[in-house]
Amino acid sequence: MQRLNETRTLSVSIERDADEVYAFLSAPENFPKWASGLGQLRKDGTDWITETPEGPMKIRFSQRNEFGILDHWLFPASDKVIYIPMRVVKNGTGCLLTFILFRLSAMTQDKFEADAEWVMRDLQAAKQLLESNSR
């Protein structure tokens, strides 16, 4: 029986209209502008590919939707799929950008903590980019 993975919910408030934030963040070509872990993306047919130290990795992004869902899936060379749930939620005149980080089964606690810090840096980068471009 599989056990539940430890999770960490990470979020930042962004002082910009939720629809504008979603429009920017839902475009895969914009991910490298704020998501440092994805590096440079390239389109290969219908797939998105990023180069990693372990070689090319396929990424699947959720289709644009009216619910603020920015989920994406990473396909490393192993048979594992890494699911990354993300949301943009309206909050007054701004929004909340939320990322759920799962601790993978083989991940040490130190690596999980380091990944959480990395994600927060990326979320802060998205916040800074989006707020600076709204003026």
Q: How many degrees, rounded to 5, is the angle at CA 45 between CA 42 and CA 47?
A: 60
Structural domains of the chain ordered from first start: 7-132 (3.30.530.20)
pLDDT at residue 66 tops 90: yes
**pLDDT at residue 70 in the model:** 97
- In this prediction the pTM is 0.90
Strand partners, 99: 10, 86
**C-beta separation of 85 from 71 below 8 A:** yes
In tens, the pLDDT along 84-97 reads 999 999 999 999 99
pLDDT at residue 135 tops 90: no
Residues near 98 by Cβ (< 8 Å), separated by ≥ 6?
A: 9, 10, 11, 86, 87, 89
Strand partners, 13: 96
In tens, the pLDDT along 31-62 reads 989 998 777 888 888 889 988 767 788 999 99
pLDDT at residue 79 tops 50: yes
